[in-house]
Structure formats: structure tokens, C-alpha cells
Amino acid sequence: MDFKQQTELDLVEQSPAAVDFDLEKLACDVIDKSDIGIFILGRDKSIVCWNSWMAQMSGIKGDHATGKTLEQLFTGFSNLRLQQAIDDALLRGMSAVLSQKFNPHSLPLYKSPEDRKKKQLMSQMIMVKPIHNGGNYSLVQVIDVSPASARDKMLRHQANEYKHQELHTRAILSSIADAVITLDVDGRVDYMNIVAEKLTGWSFQQALGLPWDKVLSVIDKKEALMSEPVGHCLQKSQAPELGELELELQPKSGANLAIELSMAPICDQNHETLGVVAIFRDVTNARQLARQINWQASHDTLTALLNRRAFDDKLAEMVNNVRHQNNSHALLYLDLDRFKIVNDTCGHAAGDELLKQISRLLAANIRANDLLARLGGDEFGIQLLDCPAEAAANIANMIRIAIQQFRFSWGEKIFNIGVSIGVVEVTPSCESAEDILCKADAACYAAKKSGRDQVHFYRSENCAAVYHQGEMEWFPRIQRALAEDRFTLYAQKIVPLADMNKSIHFEILVRMLDEDGKLILPGEFIPAAERFGLMTKIDKWVISHVFKLIAKENTRLSGQGYSFAINLSGCTLSDEQSLAFINEQLAYFNIPPGMISFEITETAAISNLSSVNHFIRNLQQSGCKLSLDDFGSGLSSFAYLKNLPVDYLKIDGLFVKNMALDVIDRAMVKSINEIGHVMELKTIAEFVENDAIIACLKEIGVDYGQGYGIAKPQPLTDVNGSLLLT
Amino acid sequence: MLELTEFQQDAVAELLNIGMGTAAASLSEMVKQKVDLSIPCVEIMLRRHAVEHIRDTVGNEVTAVKETFKGTFWGDAFLLFPESQSLELVRALLQEDALPLDMLSEMEQEALTEVGNIILNACLGSLANIFEQSFHCDLPRYAQGSCDIIFNRNLAATRSADAVLLVRMNFSLKANNINGLLTLMMDVESMQALTDLINTTFGMID
């Protein structure tokens, strides 16, 4: 075969340096050593050339292949497309390409013996060209395209993976509870999940390609939203700060929704920004709940007024402000009087209703800028802004009068309520909110102490002392006195008015001894003892000491008709263990029946009617008598009397002490006495201070009298510890 | 000169349609689905007009399979598709899942080259057959880019490839209908030779 023809190799041959160059041999070498498969077919389609590559890949040596057709060489070979291409080249001078994609099984060529065993055909691309060299030949070139084929497969595999990943991602995005919208580099919507569709009211199809702010139309209630959070995201590749904002989404239709929104840039591995992802959720309910919780944290749910905490915060603010300003403010501390009676006699529902009504009453009596709060139980606080002392006193007084005139009705009952008000000026010299509140509390306490239904202005000299002694100091003092047994007993005679020389009835009175032996009257320490829950201990102290004395002088007392009245406080009455204690002491000291009577106050009795009833009956069964003390002070108590199976009625001394002069008081005593007698009770008048009273009482027919006009209280025992029964 | 009568144009179109028929049969067999190829019209024009015309028809970005032919007439034959449609065509023919690429992979380029090769060979072959001329076609080449680059580069008759035989063709598959263009770009002498041949062959009848 003459390869020199039609090639530019002629030029090489003509170069002087290569005179002896055997071009034909070179051409044969090139074909043979080529890294592609080359074979040439003659007009009869028999092989005239078969290079080494072909020999290696087909497993058929050149000398074996030469002269044979492809059909002869490969048994069962039939490839119409290749045969057609060879024909076209031989007969019509046409070239052809057979791609691997369309002709996956062209020639039985294998890259390695392993592939041959596995029948793993080589991926081939075949090119067929006509050659004219005296006659027509067909040049066939076979190229191994396995690498490209592998790349194609890998690409396909990756594309599939990518598609799966995308499906996966979409599936996740469509199933999460948050709304997700992704935006492209131009800030246009390129994806949104179902939740985002639902919240915005836009369907993905409608929203696709729209500018983000059309679909995610957000307004900020605090007007702090940056104008272009998406632009910020895209340009700076930073998530904008949106956490603190109170955002609202305006959906395509319908009401705005409170949302929580976050945005973040989507970046590739080179930190190029590809877009933005916006995630948001409907927090309408949560925000409402948060608002509610906030409200509840700062308000009293019953009265809807500010609560103690909020009041303290505002007060601290006020104290802080007053240092920089020249105006003065005032603080009122209010404590309702006789609230407990309502609560205890009519139940908590009545108490609650009363507090609500009082709240409204208070709110109506202060100025718009003033701050009203419920500080606890029946205590209220009012901050009067820009209010000089005088004006504060006026307001306090107006409030006091308003409450005094207020009547609370519950069912058929009507109650009078009062209020004790402490007033403090808030001036730049005030130390702290706690200090002011403390002073107001002290002033209020002083108001209560000086007879309730009063306004008390805080003065450092008086209130501090009262407050100190009233509150802080008493608790440890009483405790120490109890521990050190520093109480002593007094007795005051109660005489039958018909036979005033008969001295067999005594009311036992308790006194506390100071550390230096000074006597402290009950009026001073008992309110504190009640406040701090020490009263039951004192009552028990009295009971056991009196019983012990009686037991000691049993022989002297027995059969003489002596009786001793012991006061029981409200706390003791409501303490279940007290009853057991008393019974146990009665048994232990073997106290004769009828020798002990217990005095309970009207207020204490009424406040816990059913348990007091049980208490009374039980003690009566144990042989004790019961008197109702201070009867009449509550005024509403006649109704309860029926339900209290007491033996004696002690008429409140307030009526008695003026009855000789005041006809109303006298009438009061008379009617109480009559009622008592109708109910078959013995009546006792307290505060019998002079003979005129005694005469009145006798005239009315009161059974017993007690008071300075008859006998002053005196120590129960003499220096030797023996009973002084005179 | 360089003009064909209406009859001659129809005759050439008919001639090429025979080639298209053969090509369609081969392609249908190869891709196991029905492939229809048709040529609605044929015209001759100057190259600069032809490039504009091509741009108007298939757009500036094209995918092309080129074959250089030699014989009594000579030049470059192009099969042209709009770039986007070439993807659609190959993927429809291969019936494979589309790759997420907006260009053909190398294997797909080869496949498209083969499709072009079959069509071009059928058309050039039918011309050669009719004119009973000896003919030599080179291997097909795949090209992709703007019209300017494709028509001004690597042409066999670079010096004066001024005349173009422009043949519109339709490529229709079961679900796709793709429009392509077949062009034979020749210099004036070669075109003259071709028109002479057409005249001798069909002129007698005229």
C-alpha cells in the first residue's frame, strides 16, 4: 500500500536530511504503535491492515486477521450500522461516526483479560473513512471512550444524587412546621414550602420569581426593621438581626399575623452568596400568651390592679427620678379595716368581690397619673405623682371617707369597711423604695393602732418608734419572754350585781415582764403576738399555769363555786391541737367541772363559726363554760349569737363606760342584755368604772359586772405563789 | 447564474427528501422510535445573507455538525440546531434522564455528531448518487457557538465560500418537534458546478 500518496509526508521525504528515510516503514510503524484501534478493509471487505492495538483488544493477531472479513473474524458478528458505514465508505466515499451512545455493542473488544472474562465490552467510538489508493479502501478507527463513558455515568449518578438530595430537602422543608422561603441573588422567590404558602396566602406558582417583599410583606410594630434585610443578607453575606423585632406579616388576604422571622444568606463553598433563606413562624398565639404572662407578672388577677412587684419597680423608678427633679411625690399605704370579717363570715367569694369593689372605689378617687396597686391581702398602695404633702393628705382623707361611707352588701348582709392609711412624702432625701414602703407601712400601722379608719402621716420621730416597737422588736421579745417564762398572771373580779360582796369569779389576765422586770400590758404585746402567730403559745402558757395553781390549791377551792375565766385568742380557736391540749390539761390537773370558763371575742368567734362551734361544744362537754367577749363591737353579731352556744355574754365595755351619760349606749346595753336573757345566757358588763354605771346596770338587770369601779386587776398569786382570791 | 428555478428548487428538495427518508429510517431503527425528517424548501443565497437568515431562524447560539465534502462540487455541509433544541433532541433520541446541564456532555456530543452524520451523509449521498459523481466526505465534526464563529472558521473553501444552499428541515419525534437547518456552503465555482449539474439533470425536463 502506498501511503505516500495524498499525504503531506511527501514533504518530509524531500528534506535533505532524510534522504534515506523509509517513509512507508514509518507509516506502518505509526499505524501499528498508534494508541487507537486502526484497521483497513479492502473492496471485498477483507482486512488488509490490523494494528497492534486491535490485536491486543480483540485478542486476534494481525497475521490471523489479515484477509478475513469482520464476520469471519468474529463469529456471530452482525452490526448493520458498522457494515453500512463500511459500505458507504467503500462505495460512495462517505465517512461515518458511530457513537458509543447509539452503538453500545460495536466490536467485541475488551480492555483486559478480566473484562473479557466478565464480558465487559470496551466503550468504543468508531470512525469510518474512505481511502482511495488505486482502489477504494475503508479505514476504520476505534477509540476507547471508557473514560468519557465513566465520566458520563458519574455525572448521571451525581445528578441523581443531587435530585434525590433536592427531593429530600424539599420533603423536609415541606414537612417542617416553620414557613420557609428561599430567594435567588436578585431577592426573588425561588422556593416556598406549604407553611409559607399558608401563612402568606401566596401559592408557590404565583409567587415564583416575584420580589421577596411582595410575598413576604412584613411590618415592624416598633418600626425598627431595616429597610432591606434581604439586600443586607446578599451584600454582606450576614444574617440580619431580626430577633428583637415585633414583626407582623401582611398576608395576601386576611388579618395580619405576628411572626418571628430569621434570614440567612445561602453561600457556596467559596462563600459566594447564592441567595437568601427566610424562615418564619406564626407567633400570634405565643405573643398573645407572652403579653398575658407579662400582664399577669405585673398585675393582680383579681382586681386587675398592678401587683406588688410592679408597684415596687415603679416606686424604685420614682425614687430614682425624684433625685433629678424638684417636685415631690407621695406614697399611700392602705390597709382595710374589718375586711377579715367579710371574708370569714361570707366566704372568699365575698372577700374577692369586696376587694374588686374597693379597687374601683380607690381608682375613682385618685388622679389619672397616680398609680394604684394591690400589695397583698387587703393592702393597697398608691403612688401620687407630683403631689405635695398637703394634697396627698387631702387625697388620703378623701379615700378614707369614701371607704367609710361605702357599704358592701352580700346577700342580705351589709358591711361597713374602713381603711387605715399611712402617708409618706417621697423626697430627694429618701434612701430607697424599700425604705419608703417601710415608712408607709409604719405610718399605716400607726393609723391602725390609733383606732383604725385614720390617715397617719409619717413623721420620723413618732412612726419609727411605733413601727419599731410594733413590728420588728416584738417578735424576738415575746419569743424570749416565752422561753424565759417572763409572763405573769393577774386577775380581775367579776361580781354578781345582785350580791356584790361575793367574790368567787375572776378573769385571768396576762402580763409580760420586760427583761428588767417592768410590766408590759397586753395592749402592747398582744397585737404583735397575734400578728406573728405567738398568741397560741401565750394562751397555752396561761392555761397550764392557771390549771397548775388550781390543782395545787384544790382543797381550798373545791366546793366553793370559784370560777376562772381565761381568754382564748382567735389563733388558738382555729388551731386544732389547742382543743386537745386543753382537754389533756383539764384531765392532767383534774380540774373540777364548772371551775373554768373561756372567753372568746366576738370577732374571733364569727371569723370561724363552724370550727368555733365545735370548739365550744367540746369544751362544754369537758365541763367548761364559755363567754362571748366584747359583744356588740361588731354590731352585726346578733345574728350569729344564735349559732354560738355560749354560757355568758360579755357586753362590750365601750357601751358600758358611757351608758350613765349616753342614752344610746344605755339602750344598746339594755338590748344586748335582753337578748342574752332571752337566749338564757348570763350577761356580764365590762368597764364598770363607777357607781352610776353600777346603778344603771342594776336597773337594766345585767347579771355581772367587772371593772375599775368594782375591782382593779391584781396579781393572781402572792409572793409565795399562793392564789390571792380577794 | 447561482439561481434555481422554482422547479429546480422543488427537484432538489425532492432529491434531498429521498436522502432524508433513508436517514429517518436509519435513525428510527437506531433509536427505536419513529423519526420523521422532511425538507420543506431549498434556496440559494449569498453567505452574508445566509448567516443573517440562519440567525433569524435558529438564533445566534447554535449547535452544528459539519462535514467537508469534495468532488465535482465541494464545500462544507452544516446541520444546525438552536442550542437549546439540540439538548432536547439528543435527550429525546437517547431516551435517557436529562442531565442537569445546559450543554451536551461529551458522550452526548458524539451521539449528536452521529445523528448529524447520518443525515448529512444521506443528503450528500443522494446528491452524489443522482449526479453519478465520485464524492468524498470527511468525518463529521461537532461545533457549538455563535453563528459568526461557526461560519467564518475552518471552512474548506475559505477563500470565497460565498454561496450557500440553504435547506430547511423538520425533525419530528413522537413528543418533540425540532426545527433545524441544513446548509451547504460552497464557493462560487463549486456552486456553479452544482447548479450546472442540477441544470443538466433537471433542466432537460424543464
What pLDDT, in 10s, does the model give residues A468-518? Answer: 444 556 777 888 888 888 999 999 999 999 888 887 899 999 999 988 888
The kind and range of the H/E element at B198 are helix B188-198
CA distance A397 to B23: 113
Assess whether pLDDT exceeds 60 at residue A622: yes
| Mean pLDDT computed over B56-80 | 87
Assess whether pLDDT exceeds 80 at residue B203: no
Chain B hits for A80, CB-CB cut-off 8 Å, are 29
Within an 8 Å CB–CB cutoff, is residue B190 touching chain A?
A: no
CA distance A653 to A663: 15
Give the chain B residue nearest A132 (alpha carbons). Answer: B136
**CA of B76 vs chain A CAs: smallest distance (Å):** 14
- Winning range, highest mean pLDDT, from A327-331, A363-367, A410-414, A509-513: A509-513
Give the chain B residue nearest A85 (alpha carbons). Answer: B118
Q: How many alpha carbons lie under 13 Å from residue A698 in its C-beta half-sphere?
A: 12
| Residue predicted with more confidence, B96 or A157 | A157
Nearest to A127 by CA among B41, B202, B113, B120: B113
What pLDDT, in 10s, does the model give residues A70-84? Answer: 999 888 888 888 998
Residue with cell 479502501: A137
Which stretches of A216-338 are DSSP H helices?
229-236, 284-298, 308-322
CA distance A503 to A707: 13
Per the CB < 8 Å rule, is B107 touching A152?
yes
Considering only the beta carbons, identify the residue of A94, A100, A155 that sits closest to B99: A155
Chain A hits for B111, CB-CB cut-off 8 Å, are 99-102
Per the CB < 8 Å rule, is B110 touching A145?
yes
Please check whether residue A230 is in contact with residue A276, taking contact to mean a CB–CB distance below 8 angstroms: yes
**ipTM of this predicted structure:** 0.86
Question: From residue A293, how far is each of A262, A290, A298, A305 by CA, in Å?
Answer: 24, 5, 9, 15
CA distance A288 to A666: 63
Q: Is residue B1 part of a domain?
A: no
Give the chain A residue nearest B118 (alpha carbons). Answer: A96
The kind and range of the H/E element at A223 are none
| Mean pLDDT computed over A521-540 | 81
| Residue predicted with more confidence, A8 or A21 | A21
Chain B hits for A162, CB-CB cut-off 8 Å, are 100
Q: How many alpha carbons lie under 13 Å from residue A613 in its C-beta half-sphere?
A: 9
Sorted by where each starts, the structural domains of chain A and their CATH numbers stand as: 34-144 (3.30.450.20), 176-288 (3.30.450.20), 299-458 (3.30.70.270), 476-715 (3.20.20.450)
Chain B hits for A95, CB-CB cut-off 8 Å, are 67, 117, 121, 137-140
Looking at residue A717, the DSSP 8-state letter turns out to be B
CATH of the domain at B63: 3.40.1550.10
**CA of B155 vs chain A CAs: smallest distance (Å):** 18
Contacts of A56 (CB under 8 A, 6+ apart): none
Domain span including residue B116: 6-203
Instruction: Kindly report which listed range (A123-127, A348-352, A492-496) carries the lowest average pLDDT score.
Output: A348-352
pLDDT at residue A467, rounded to an integer: 46
> How many domains are contained in chain B?
1
What pLDDT, in 10s, does the model give residues A323-338? Answer: 777 778 899 999 998 8
One-character DSSP codes across A402-431 = HHHH-EEEETTEEEE-EEEEEEEEE-TT--
Q: Is residue B176 part of a domain?
A: yes
pLDDT at residue B167, rounded to an integer: 82
Q: Is residue B119 part of a domain?
A: yes
**CA of B135 vs chain A CAs: smallest distance (Å):** 6
AA identity, residue A709: G
Chain B hits for A155, CB-CB cut-off 8 Å, are 99, 101, 105
One-character DSSP codes across A467-486 = HIIIIIIHHHHHHHHHHTT-
Mean of the per-residue pLDDT values of chain A: 85
AA identity, residue A360: R
* Lookup: cell for A374: 394591690
Question: Based on the number of CB atoms within 10 Å of its own CB, is A533 exposed (0-12), middle (13-18) or buried (19 or more)?
Answer: exposed
Q: pLDDT grade, residue A597 (50/70/90)?
A: very high
Within an 8 Å CB–CB cutoff, is residue B76 touching chain A?
A: no
CA distance B99 to B91: 9
pLDDT at residue B155, rounded to an integer: 55
